Amino acid sequence: MIKQEFLDTEITYLQGVGPKRAELLNKELGILTFRDLLYYFPFKYIDRTRFYKIEELDPELPFVQVKGIIKGYYTEGHGPGKRLAADFQDETGTIKLVWFKGGKWITGSFTPGVEYIVFGKPGVFNGIVNIIHPEIEAVDKLAERINSALQAQYNTTERLKNQFVTSKTLSKLIGNMLKQIKVKLPETLPSYLVTRYKLIELHEALHKIHFPANPDELEKARRRLKFEELFYIQLNLLRFKTNRNLKLKGFVFASVGDNFNNFYYNNLPFTLTNAQKRVMKEIRKDLGSGKQMNRLLQGDVGSGKTLVALMSMLIALDNGYQACIMAPTEILANQHYQTISKLLAGIDIKIHMLTGSSKKSSRKIISESLLDKSLNILIGTHALLEENVQFANLGLVIIDEQHRFGVAQRARLWQKNLNPPHILVMTATPIPRTLAMTVYGDLDVSVIDELPPGRVPIKTMHFTDSERNKVFGFIRNQISEKRQIYIVYPLIKESETMDYKDLEDGWDTISRVFPAPKYCLSIVHGKMTPQNKEMSMKLFKDGIAQILIATTVIEVGVDIPNATVMVIESAERFGLSQLHQLRGRVGRGADQSYCILMTSDKLSKEAARRIEVMISTNDGFEIAETDLQLRGPGDIEGTLQSGIPFDLKIADLGKDGQLIEYVRHIAEEILNLDPLLENSQNLVMRAELKRLFNQKQSWSNIS
């Protein structure tokens, strides 16, 4: 058996790859080593057992192969459009073959009247079916085709194709390499796993993924490779968690004291929902356990996470510690500050707010009172992470609505302390279970799956631009019933200037339809100063403005119970999870709320599906699942970067949910028996983890 390191051999040493090709492969596909090429998996397979008849061909078909004869060559067009063409015929009809370059080589290689196999993607031009740049093969070559009926197709780039590195070339190179590596490729899983879970060996899987003889072989190869990919991600996350528990002590918050009781019995304005009670129990158990809490709190918008955060902080205070909340925007930090100050009215607890725009003077006060312990709760934005923010005894950190806050960033928080504080991550983005297992795989999860009582489900409606007047009428009615309205415009980084134009045009229209002094409008967008933003928000919050026109800055967390209508302009441009987040801004009081999705008259199939889903359900988890299926996980708010340090090569977090659960369970069992992976049969996993992940970086935060 050869060693894994052998696969680190540079690709230049492969037969058929010189320095020039090596550079090209590296630049275009990131392929540097034998391993890179071996793990450059096909994106699809073409069944080359099937032959089509020419009369069956239509441009809708993917790649096809046809047996027939070339009738004769001729040229068409002139200038840059000049091309070589040939009529190609079988007993059922004729198609045209077309070449824009390499004509001389073609006419010299393939003789009219001889039978050939032609392979390519059918198209159509001037009503005639054609194949552009077909692959042509002599019929007697059929027998010696690499013993693979399913032909692997590899992604290539324009530049590669221009340098004659096609999908077929890559297939040949990989074939060469497998021949060149005569010995067996080293196994990356312990053999007891391979046997127990009925996997094929890595060596076989890597051959079959590139050259499957039939669909069954291909399936087995895919299963083995996906298993391995997902298994190591889970093993890595769980090992991180296991080690953290072994090495770190958490502060013990043994008791509930005056702050908590005072609040609970005197200030709490309502009874907790059962879900809130259950989650509080889970958190209290963590806080008293002597282990460091690392918990994710998931709960749909409006489910009452803030209260849970506050009560957890009060327990920290009761045990002599400080606590902080970090929010993603100033608006939200400010809102938390307001809400929590109000909830704590009459209780002697000192709270401060710290954001990027905090003045030097208040920073000084904050610094001092953090160190002399007179400050109990600090609420803010990423400014909390700045080096000069030093707590005397930080016991609990709450991270609100920050999906991108991964393992590494969380670990950075510990450096604020000698000992790690407890950490509670809160999110209203309902992440599908399996995705959460990967992105937040090292966290324990609590879910608030119940809204406070008395909420009326939001009604969602769809209108197109041509029905705008109806919508204005509806808004007018709502305002006459003293309700408030949000109107939101998309803001996408790439087309920011155009988007702001839309916002301005919108503002012009709305202020014409809803003129002062009868109506008062307010506007919030990302280009405003924090002070102006705050003023506009206040205008709306205090009920003076009836309509708030905004970009997506209001997406998360803003809580104004009297706002009952959310109008989303150009709704087709938003993703599902964003639409759901925005809708969650209304429906916070006891009144019927509405979400109005405005779109242009023509919609793409996908956009129409998103609108349909929004109308049919209010369930965030259902929406998240659909989103995952429609878009694939890569897009889901860039969540993935935080969980996985590399691109997945074969598994799909959207589609392989069951397998993720399966391998996670297996990884758990292994770590239960051998937390440090010290048994000789497990050493191979340790080596593989080391190779796959930059362990050094993550471990330094622990030891």
Nearer to ligand ADP, 32 or 445 (CB): 445
Closest separation in Å from C-beta 491 to ligand ADP: 22
Nearer to Mg ion, 190 or 557 (CB): 557
Closest separation in Å from C-beta 440 to ligand ADP: 17
Give the binding-site size for ligand ADP (rule: CB under 6 A): 17
Token reading at 692: 């796959």
Nearer to ligand ADP, 272 or 461 (CB): 272
Residue 46, beta-bridge partner list: 151
Stretch that binds ligand ADP, among 99-107, 230-238, 294-302, 665-673 (CB under 6 A): 294-302
Judged by beta carbon distances under 5 to 8 A according to partner kind, the member of Mg ion, ligand ADP, none in contact with residue 303 is ligand ADP
Give the Cβ contact number of residue 330 at 10 Å.
Answer: 21
Identify residues 274-293 at the interface with ligand ADP (CB under 6 A): 276
Alpha helices for 415-523 (secondary structure H): 433-439, 468-480, 496-513
Under 8 Å between Cβ of 352 and 379: yes
- Terminal C-alpha separation, the chain: 36
DSSP label at residue 654: T
Closest separation in Å from C-beta 550 to ligand ADP: 18
Q: What is the C-alpha to C-alpha distance for residues 379 and 45, in angstroms, rounded to an integer? A: 54
Question: 12 in helix, strand or coil?
Answer: helix
Nearer to ligand ADP, 400 or 688 (CB): 400
Identify residues 520-579 at the interface with ligand ADP (CB under 6 A): 559, 561
Under 8 Å between Cβ of 426 and 400: yes
The single-letter code of the amino acid at 267 is: N
Judged by beta carbon distances under 5 to 8 A according to partner kind, the member of Mg ion, ligand ADP, none in contact with residue 22 is none
Stretch that binds ligand ADP, among 295-303, 464-472, 590-598, 635-643 (CB under 6 A): 295-303
Closest separation in Å from C-beta 445 to ligand ADP: 15
Which stretches of 559-613 are assigned E, i.e. beta strand? 563-568, 594-599
Stretch that binds ligand ADP, among 35-43, 201-209, 265-273, 468-476 (CB under 6 A): 265-273
Nearer to ligand ADP, 403 or 588 (CB): 588
Closest separation in Å from C-beta 305 to ligand ADP: 3
How many residues are there in the chain?
Answer: 703
Q: What is the C-alpha to C-alpha distance for residues 519 and 548, in angstroms, rounded to an integer? A: 11
Token reading at 503: 């916002």
Q: What is the C-alpha to C-alpha distance for residues 454 and 457, in angstroms, rounded to an integer? A: 10
* Residues in Cβ contact with 391 at an 8 Å cutoff, skipping those fewer than 6 apart: 322, 324, 370, 371, 378, 416, 417
For the chain, the helix, strand and coil percentages under 3-state DSSP, each to the nearest 5:
45, 20, 35
Please identify the residue of the shown chain whose CB is closest to the bound Mg ion. Answer: 557
Binding mask 75-104 for Mg ion (x = CB under 5 A): ------------------------------
Please calculate the CA angle 154-234-437 and round it to the nearest 5 degrees: 100
DSSP label at residue 256: -
Judged by beta carbon distances under 5 to 8 A according to partner kind, the member of Mg ion, ligand ADP, none in contact with residue 559 is ligand ADP
Phi-psi region of 266 (alpha: psi -120 to 50; beta: other; left: phi over 0): alpha
Judged by beta carbon distances under 5 to 8 A according to partner kind, the member of ligand ADP, Mg ion, none in contact with residue 272 is ligand ADP
Stretch that binds Mg ion, among 283-291, 380-388, 549-557, 620-628 (CB under 5 A): 549-557
Question: 25 in helix, strand or coil?
Answer: helix
Identify residues 297-356 at the interface with ligand ADP (CB under 6 A): 299, 301-307
Judged by beta carbon distances under 5 to 8 A according to partner kind, the member of ligand ADP, Mg ion, none in contact with residue 270 is ligand ADP
Which stretches of 303-374 are assigned E, i.e. beta strand? 322-326, 351-354
| DSSP states along 144-212 | GS-S-SEEEE----HHHHHTT--HHHHHHHHHHHHHH--SPPPPSS-HHHHHHTTPPPHHHHHHHHHS-
Inter-helix orientation angle 215-247/683-692, to 10°: 90
Closest separation in Å from C-beta 617 to ligand ADP: 18
Closest separation in Å from C-beta 456 to ligand ADP: 14
Residue 135, beta-bridge partner list: 119
Closest separation in Å from C-beta 43 to ligand ADP: 40
Token reading at 23: 């550079």
Note whether 273 binds ligand ADP by CB under 6 A.
yes
Closest separation in Å from C-beta 400 to ligand ADP: 8
Closest separation in Å from C-beta 391 to ligand ADP: 24
Judged by beta carbon distances under 5 to 8 A according to partner kind, the member of ligand ADP, Mg ion, none in contact with residue 200 is none
Note whether 557 binds Mg ion by CB under 5 A.
yes
Stretch that binds Mg ion, among 349-357, 371-379, 430-438, 554-562 (CB under 5 A): 554-562
Binding mask 416-455 for ligand ADP (x = CB under 6 A): ------------x-----------------------x---
What does the binding site for Mg ion look like in residue numbers (CB under 5 A)?
Answer: 557
What does the binding site for ligand ADP look like in residue numbers (CB under 6 A)?
Answer: 270, 272-273, 276, 299, 301-307, 428, 452, 559, 561, 588
